[in-house]
Structure 1
């Protein structure tokens, strides 16, 4: 059985004024299993809507030394937001939480369970293991996700069902020890490739809830990100040490 003291939750934010306050409330309200301490790190990536104001309202309402906030003056991308969060994360475990409400923060406890009981080093939350999830982001988006995951499995020599998932929970020393370069959505295949290359690291997936949204509702990832993901899979899988 593995003892976890603190979980750092990095929350990159870009133009999520409709969801960010509610999301932060949900994360703040979670009681982590095993009495694990929680550290929230909010990274506002130069949002041009009212996200910054919503974050400040939350910070004023819930003053806590374990809630930290960073603001980028120039938009840099999700990966860059995660890089900034990593620099100040103090947890012995780290996880990424998107600022929308597609994923239920209560599922973070599902990710913690195999870490505590089995000593796993990396846990991904899979949107595709729970067959009750309805992929509202469309047939083509789902097929693209499945293809990118298949390609990752072939290139990285692993066996997972959802490489593009936001929920990646990684032991802190492993996460911080990676040299991560991708500034935007290429972060997902890059971290997966680099974790897969660490000898002895074990991956585990757990089923999570997924409430997909459409581009009209604010979803930002597009076909160009899919092309970049393919490039990153090959770059960090076959053409990088």
Structure 2
């Protein structure tokens, strides 16, 4: 009999878990009756500061299918995903959030896509961003357009982490043990046939989002630097263009001085050019710094996460 492991990263989800757990159990019961598939659950407590761990301990005490992993501190959602995938034992692995923005009932259609249609992965994507701030939605769409233009790895607009994968695909993802992880890109990079299910945005059932605009911006930069070297090429191109511009300006200044004999005029415009070129240089150094910092962190070979508690050990 096949088994689905449901992986749920949790950070301060004390309010959401009492709603999520009964819903996923209902879906598990229906799918066991309809398809004969067993379920196991892995909840990864990513250093929560509320009572999330206490709730998980209560769930584990009443349900032997529940396993919880608790980090020594907050390592981020990417680390929680990696830890959950490492400890998942099912023939299929489903990933979803605890806030019910990922509708558990979609698991039935996702399972059919793999078991009956032969896909290796069934993912979900939002077709609307209802309830999300307009500025945030604008920059999100801009990010997907940008990264798909500068990267060879296609990342579907609106793609969620909510997906069901075969064991073969999970093993391929785990083989990419890099420290700086961008799962949306990794899921696409490993390949495998993927079916996309579209659905409208769903509001959180409880609690507040952990993703501020600033965190999303930094996450998008991580994605770009992880799956594209185009910014480095752009920095090099800007260097070449400004070298040419500088050569042209030198010729203009010399000719102007010889013809009009007025070397002092044009001081304000020259200062503008100096500030512009200085800004471009700092931008290029910043781009180089991003890639250098990622390389530096990789060479340290630090663990992606540190596990503090595990109820199955």
Q: TM-score, normalised by structure 2?
A: 0.63
| Aligned residues of 1:193 and 1:236 also touching (Cα < 8 A) | no
Higher helix share: 2
Q: Secondary structure at the match of 2:8?
A: strand
| Aligned residues of 1:127 and 1:208 also touching (Cα < 8 A) | yes
Cα-to-partner distance string for 1:99-128 (whole Å, 9 max, x where unaligned) = 212222111112222212221112211121
- Verify: 1:162 aligned to 2:149, yes or no: no
Cα-to-partner distance string for 1:38-86 (whole Å, 9 max, x where unaligned) = 111011112111111222222233x22x321111121111111111112
Gaps of 5+ in 2: 230-290, 292-313
Q: Specify whether residues 110 and 180 from structure 1 end up closer, same or farther in structure 2 by C-alpha distance, changes over 3 A only.
A: farther
- How does 1:122-201 map onto structure 2 within 5 Å? 122-128=121-127, 135-154=130-149, 155-156=151-152, 158=154, 160-163=156-159, 165-178=160-173, 179-181=176-178, 187-195=182-190, 198=191, 201=192
Match of 1:35 in 2: 36
The worse-fitting range, judged by mean Cα deviation, of 138-147 and 148-157 is: 148-157
- How many equivalent pairs are there? 223
Q: Specify whether residues 17 and 176 from structure 1 end up closer, same or farther in structure 2 by C-alpha distance, changes over 3 A only.
A: same
Match of 2:6 in 1: 9
| Aligned residues of 2:9 and 2:97 also touching (Cα < 8 A) | yes
Gaps of 5+ in 1: none
| Aligned residues of 2:91 and 2:167 also touching (Cα < 8 A) | yes
Q: Specify whether residues 236 and 122 from structure 1 end up closer, same or farther in structure 2 by C-alpha distance, changes over 3 A only.
A: farther
- Verify: 1:227 aligned to 2:217, yes or no: yes
Shift of the alpha carbon at 1:202? Answer: 1.8
Cα-to-partner distance string for 1:190-220 (whole Å, 9 max, x where unaligned) = 323423xx3xx22211123532349x94101
Cα-to-partner distance string for 1:115-154 (whole Å, 9 max, x where unaligned) = 12221112211121xxxx6621222222233233334444
Match of 2:245 in 1: none
| Aligned residues of 2:3 and 2:38 also touching (Cα < 8 A) | yes
Match of 1:55 in 2: 56
Q: Specify whether residues 187 and 8 from structure 1 end up closer, same or farther in structure 2 by C-alpha distance, changes over 3 A only.
A: farther
Q: Specify whether residues 111 and 71 from structure 1 end up closer, same or farther in structure 2 by C-alpha distance, changes over 3 A only.
A: same
Match of 1:121 in 2: 120
The RMSD of aligned alpha carbons is 2.7
Q: TM-score, normalised by structure 1?
A: 0.80
